Structure 1
């Protein structure tokens, strides 16, 4: 199992200058690169300060100039916000400008607040139809001249320019939680980005089984990869769990605002919905959050990671963007590199030796 980190520029107060927001992201990206993380993922969001990433391809191009090895991924581009020609060209150019390090992650989209402003108010659940039309069109534009006559986009014969540096194209990842999306994505040869959200550990096995079934149902394609992401915070003292849980609860209340479109957003800053309206939910119970999310000392998170390994996860992604204090984000990366990664590297070496003997 390899490790990745999900990072975006985040700003929760107008008192935080953008120069500091930018430098924080750059510092964390460099730490992840130097520490040996496989991939850095960054999202696409619009009109909200808590995730400042109107074009993740631009962010990744910038980060490529300050990192050496880490892969650079979009998690995720939002299908209904793009046209096939524009996306094929911009993603391919990003692949060149990052030296062939692009991982192309795409999704139907999530925040209804954004869909009301970016997609004419259509229900965000309908974004999956755009996703299923867009990705095959982009792949064809990456390969050759192509004309498209679909439900959402139409254009005469055109070329994707430039063609990607990676051949035949950058690795494609699709965000999925429902079985239909797993099946479609694996069927086109895409890898899977998934998350158990705040659900108990049993959800990890459920998602792993959806992936295994999709792979079994498509023996004609090479086995793709499975990534899972959770909000993550590692600390040296067990009693520090309350800090991480408190930030997760506050961020979750802002997420409810955007996802359900039930609150106020003032000048880009979402108002957290009242705690009283969510505190009855299991995923806002502090003990449940502590147990379910990747919060803990190094020993505690190593134990939790065994569930992901057992579910067949190829890459575990640290979700660090939930208004966690910057120093605690840095500490999490450092503890992960120093105390978590070596354990799984040793497990991988042991499995390789056992396979060689067999």
Structure 2
């Protein structure tokens, strides 16, 4: 199992400076690049200060100038906000400007608040239909001249300019928790991004079962990769869990505002909604959050990660952008790099050695 990191620029108050948010992201990216993380992922969001990334390709192009080896991924492009021609060209240009390090993640979109402003108020659940039309059209544009006559987009003969550096194209990832989208994504040759959100560990197994069924139902496709994301914080003392859980709970009140469209947003800053308005209050029990999310000492985190590896997860992604103080984000990266990644690297090396010995004996 490899490891990625999900980062965004964040502001939760007008007193937080944009330059500080930018500089903190860059410092974390450089540490992740030097510490053995496979991929850095960043999101697309609009009109909200707690996730500042109106065009993730811009952020990734900038980060590419300050890193050397880490892959750079969109997690995710929101399908209804793009046209096939624009997405094909911008993704391909980003692939060139990052020297072939782009990973292209795409999704239907999450926040109804954004859909009300970016997609004419359509229900965000309908975004999946846009994604299913958009991605095949982008593939065709990367191949050469292509005319499209679809439900959402129509255009005469055109092509992507430029074409991607990676051939035939950058790795494609589809974000989903829905069985139908698992099946569609694997069927079109895409990798899977998923998250159990704040649910118990059993949800990891549920998502793993969806992935395995989709793979089994498409024997014509090579097995795709499977990434899973959780909010993560690693600390040295077991008793430190309480303050970390408080950060997660407080952030959840902003998240529920946007996810459920139940609060107000002033000048880009969502208000933290009252707990009594949250539909899934059970997910905010401190003990449940401590156990369900990737919070713990290195030994505790290694124990939790074993569940993900057992379910076939190829990359576990550390979600660090939940208003976690910068010092704790940096400490998490360093502890993870020093004590967690080596544990799994040793296991992988031992497994490879055992396989080589078996093959030599045969």
TM-score, normalisation: structure 2: 0.98
Residue of structure 1 in register with 2:287 after alignment: 287
Q: Offset of 1:243 from its aligned partner?
A: 1.5
Instruction: Quote the Cα distance in structure 1 between the aligned partners of 2:340 and 2:155.
Output: 50
Alignment of 1:26-175 (within 5 A): 26-175=26-175
Cα distance, 1:244 vs structure 2 = 1.2
Contact 2:275/2:281, CA 8 A, preserved across alignment: no
d(CA) in 1 for partners of 2:65 and 2:243? 34
How far the C-alpha of 1:14 sits from its partner, in A, is: 0.7
- Whether 1:19 aligns to 2:43 is no
* Whole-Å separation in 1 of the counterparts to 2:354 and 2:282: 42
For each residue in 1:42-87, what CA deviation from the matched residue of structure 2 results, as whole angstroms up to 9, or x when unmatched? Answer: 0000000000000000000000000000000000000000000000
Counterparts of 1:222 and 1:280, CA distance in 2:
37
Gaps of 5+ in 2: none
Query: CA offset at residue 249 of structure 1?
Result: 0.6
Q: Which residue matches 1:223?
A: 223
SS in 2 for 1:122: coil
For residues 214 and 304 of structure 2, the distance between their equivalents in structure 1, rounded to whole angstroms, comes to: 25
RMSD across aligned C-alpha pairs, in angstroms? 0.8
Deviation, 1:275, is: 2.2
Contact 1:77 1:107 (8 Å CA) reproduced: yes
Shift of 1:278: 3.3
Partner of 2:321: 321
Partner of 1:76, secondary structure, is: strand
Please state if 1:304 is matched with 2:300: no
Q: Residue deviations 1:202-232, cap 9 Å, x none? A: 1111101110110011011111100000000
- 1:90, 1:46 → 2: CA distance? 18
SS of 2:258's equivalent in the other structure is helix
Give the drift of 1:356.
1.5
Q: 1:280: Cα distance to partner? A: 7.0
Q: How many residues align?
A: 358
Q: Secondary structure at the match of 1:75?
A: strand
TM-score, normalised by the number of residues in structure 1: 0.99
Query: Would the alpha carbon gap of residues 117 and 279 (structure 1) be closer, same or farther in structure 2, given more than 3 Å must change?
Result: closer
